[in-house]
């Protein structure tokens, strides 16, 4: 048996976070699901664990359309974090936006693995998680 997977959900919608957490929690190998409602809170969280690699999330699901700091602004700051943290995480954009501009902008960030459309229930979660 491999390592359990830690997930970070970043979405300003408490409802989306609640639903996505419920969907993800059905996966056997998921140990931790952290939900944060802003890009700023997420950056503060990640900065607080920089020296604790065992606490890095394995997967980040990032909403794009959020107040104060949108997903792209988060990504601009996220890529400044230490490579050890960035390389540890698989990052997905999870957005209700079907706008090709958003999708194409997401592709400008090499750290974004894929742009997923909400709801998360439409996706096979096990295929999005790292192999354990």
Check: CB of residue 115 under 8 Å from CB of residue 104.
no
Helix axes 39-48, 71-78, angle to 10 degrees: 20
In sequence order, what are the beta bridge partners of 30? Answer: 5
Q: What is the dihedral of CA 6, 78, 117, 99, to 10 degrees?
A: 180
Per-residue pLDDT tens for 69-83?
999 999 999 999 999
Reported confidence tier of residue 110, pLDDT bands at 50, 70, 90:
very high
Task: Report the CATH number that the domain containing residue 86 is assigned in CATH.
Answer: 3.40.50.2300
Per-residue pLDDT tens for 35-77?
999 999 999 999 999 999 999 999 999 999 999 999 999 999 9
pTM: 0.92
Mean pLDDT score across all residues of the chain: 90
**Residue 70 belongs to domain spanning:** 5-128
pLDDT at residue 3 in the model: 67
First to last CA, the chain: 7
Into how many domains does the chain fold?
A: 1
Task: Please say if the pLDDT value at position 1 is more than 50.
Answer: no
Residue 102 parent element (H or E) = helix 100-107
How far, in Å, CA of 70 to CA of 74, rounded?
6
Q: What is the dihedral of CA 44, 46, 52, 53, to 10 degrees?
A: -170
How far, in Å, CA of 7 to CA of 5, rounded?
7
How far, in Å, CA of 77 to CA of 111, rounded?
12
Per-residue pLDDT tens for 15-28?
999 999 999 999 98
How far, in Å, CA of 49 to CA of 72, rounded?
22
Of 29-33, 41-45, 99-103, least confident by mean pLDDT is 99-103
């Amino acid at each position: 048996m491999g390592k359990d997977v830690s997930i970070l959900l970043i979405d300003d919608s408490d409802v989306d976070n609640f639903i996505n957490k419920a969907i993800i929690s059905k996966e056997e190998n998921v140990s931790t699901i952290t939900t944060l409602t802003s890009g700023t809170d997420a950056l503060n969280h990640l900065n607080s664990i920089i020296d604790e690699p065992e606490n890095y999330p394995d997967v980040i699901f990032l909403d794009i359309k959020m107040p104060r700091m949108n997903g792209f602004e988060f990504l601009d700051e996220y890529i400044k974090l230490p490579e050890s943290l960035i390389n540890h995480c698989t990052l997905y954009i999870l957005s209700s936006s079907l706008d090709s501009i958003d999708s194409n902008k997401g592709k400008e960030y090499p750290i974004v693995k894929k742009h997923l459309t909400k709801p998360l229930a439409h996706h096979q979660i096990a295929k999005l998680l790292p192999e354990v």
